[in-house]
Amino acid sequence: MCGIVGYIGENKKAVPFLLQGLEKLEYRGYDSSGIAVLNQNEIKIVKKQGRLKVIKDILGSKDDLHSNLGIGHTRWATHGDPSDVNAHPHLSKSGKIAVVHNGIIENYINLKKTLSKKGYEFKSDTDTEVVAQLLDSLYEGNMLGTIKKATDLLEGSFALGIICTDYPDTLFAVKKDSPLIIGVGEDENFIASDIPAVLSKTRKICRLKEKQIAVLTSKNIDIFDFSGGKAKMEISEINWNVDAAEKNNYDHFMIKEIMEQPKVLNDTISPRLKDYSIKLDNLNFTEEYLKNLNKISIVACGSAYHVGCVAKYFMEELIRKPVEVELASEFRYRSPIVDKNTLVIIISQSGETADSLAALREAKKLGARVLSVVNVVGSSIANESDDVLYTWAGPEIAVATTKAYSTQLSLMYLIALYISKVLGTITDEKYKNLIENIKLLPEKITGILKKASSTEEIAKKYYQTEKIFFIGRTLDYAVCMEGSLKLKEISYIHSEAYAAGELKHGTISLIDNKTLVIALATQDKLFDKTISNIREVKSRGATILLITTEDKADKISDIADDVIYIPKISNILSPSLAVIPMQLLSYYIAKFRGCDIDKPRNLAKSVTVE
C-alpha cells in the first residue's frame, strides 16, 4: 500500500530521483512522506505528514542534501496516526541505519518489549521503527548478515529499503509478502514498490522473489535468499509506452483509463480469439479434469470480487457447475471446503493483494488447482499460481479501477466459454453467437464513450445528492455492486447496491424524496419485473436514473427522470457495457464535488496488508 523508492549511483542524484519516484507512486495512496539520504557520513531525514508537496517545499530551501544514496517513502497509516513522527523513514538509535517499510510486522509488540529491555526507546507508534532498532541491536559490522538474522525474527509481511552509514555505496532491499522491484540502470540502480517509479530511468526490471535480499551498488546487484544462498537475478524488459503511466492531456488518470477501455479490451481479447477458437495462453484444462470438478471458487477483493459476482451468473449458466464467489479476506478464516476437484480462480489487478495471496496459498495447501487472472507479469500471485492469464491492461494509476475491471471480466467470459466448449454444455450456435458478441465489445464501448458528455450533464444534476441506491436483478445487480463502489470511493456519497426484488423486504423504508435510485435493466427476461421494482421506489418519492438498452426505449414511458441508453448485446455480456456509464457517472459526480479523484482519501491502489 505504501510506496518505497531507493537510489544508489555514482553521481549525487539521489534526492531528485527519490522525489520523482515517490510522485509516480502517489496513486498507491498515502498520508505522509519522507526521504533519508546519506550526506557527509550522516543520515539526514526529511519527513512530514501530508502530500509530497510539503517535502518538496522543504527540500527546495535546502542546498546541502547532495547524496548518491537514499531511500524514500509514502506512508498509508496502519500503526499509529498519520503524523510527522510516524512518517517513514525511521532511524535507528545509533543513527547508523535508516529503514522504509511496506507491510505489517505482526510480532512487533513482542519485539518492541524485548528491545525496550535492552535500552531502546521508541519515538513513533509504528511497527517499522521496531525494524530499525532490531537491525541496530543485531548489527556487528556486517549489514547483510544482520539483515539475515533480522528476517528470522520478523513475522508478517515486509518490503524494506535500508541504508547504513558504514556502507556509503550500498543500498539494501528485502522482500517478503510485499512487492518490491529493482530497476537496473547505467552506473546507478534503483528499488521501488512499482514500475512507474523507475520507468523514466530504466526499462530493465528485476522483480524480487519471495524471501529475497538484494544488495545494490552503482555497478552491481547481488541477490540472496533468507538462508544466505546466492540467487539468480532475472531481468525483464518493460515494453510499456512511457505515456501509459502519464495523464497526457486528461484531467485525471481515471478518465484517461476509462477512455482506454476499448483499446485494452481489444488487447486482451483479440490475441486469444482466432475465428471461433479460444486460445488461453498455456492453459490446458483436460475434459477429464473439468468433468471431475465439483465446483469453481472465485476469490478476490473489491472490484475484482465484483467481477467474480458477475462471472458467477454466466459461468453457472454456461458450464453447469456450481460457482462460489469468496471475499479473499474471509476465505482462509472460515475453513473453506476446497480440494483437488475445486478450481480456484484468483482475480487481482496488482497480483500482490495480500488477502488474495493468502487465500491462494490456503487453496493450494488444500489441494486445489489455482488459476490467477492478474495484470502484472511476474507478480507474487502470478508466480505462485498453477496457471495464469494476464489481462494486458497496461499500468492503471487511478486508485478506482476501471480498465482492470473490464479486462478481468472479458477474460472470465473467455474462461467460461472455453470450459463450456470442452464440457459440451453449450450449443455451437450459442457459443458462436457469444464469440461474435465478445469481439464487438470494444466497438460498442467506444460508442458509449463518445456520448460521455450526456452522462456528464446528468451528473451535474445529481452531484449534490447524498443518498443513492443502485438496483438491478441477477447480472444487473452484480454490476450495480461495482457501480456503487465506484461512486462511494471517489465521491464520498453513501450509496448501496441492492437486488431489486429484495427492496420490499425492508430496505424500501429508506426510500424517500431525497433518494436517487440508479436502476439497471438490461436483462430481457427480467425487464418487466425490474420496471415494477422501479415503480415501487418511484411511488415512494425517489428520483429515477435508468440505465437500459436502446431497444427498450419505447417500453419505459414516464418511469424514469433520466435515461442512459447502452447498445443492445447478448444479455450475458451486458455487464461490460453497463459498467461504462456507471464509471463515467461516478467520475463526473466526483469532479463536480471537487474530490481528489485519482487519490481518494483513506484508500490505496495496491492493498498489500491484511
Tell me the CB-side half-sphere exposure of residue 575, using CA atoms within 13 A.
Answer: 31
SS3 content of the chain, % helix, strand, coil (to 5): 40, 25, 35
Indicate the residue type of 598. D
∠ Cα 410 483 363 (to 5°) = 55
The C-alpha cell of 456 is what?
Answer: 456528464
CA 286 to chain centre: 31
* Continuous H helices in 241-387: 253-259, 261-269, 287-292, 302-319, 328-331, 354-365, 380-384
| Continuous segment of H or E residues that includes residue 338 | none
For residue 165, the tally of other CB atoms under 10 A from its CB is 16
CB 24 within 8 A of CB 197: yes
**Of 2, 309, 480, 595, which residue is the catalytic one?**
2
CA distance 287 to 319: 12
For residue 95 the three cell numbers come to 543513527
Helix (H, G, I), strand (E, B) or coil at 76: coil
Beta bridge partners of 48: 33
Q: Indicate if 605 belongs to the active site.
A: yes
What gap in Å lies between CA 341 and CA 339, rounded to an integer? 5
Residue 163 CB-density burial (10 A; 0-12 exposed, 13-18 middle, 19+ buried):
buried
Cell numbers given for 87? 512518517
Q: How far apart are CA 92 and CA 95, in angstroms?
A: 5
Q: How far apart are CA 544 and CA 212, in angstroms?
A: 55
583 residue type, one letter:
Q
Distance in angstroms (rounded) separating the CA atoms of residues 62 and 386: 52
CA distance 161 to 143: 13
| Catalytic pick among 201, 403, 599, 605 | 605
**Catalytically annotated residues:** 2, 605
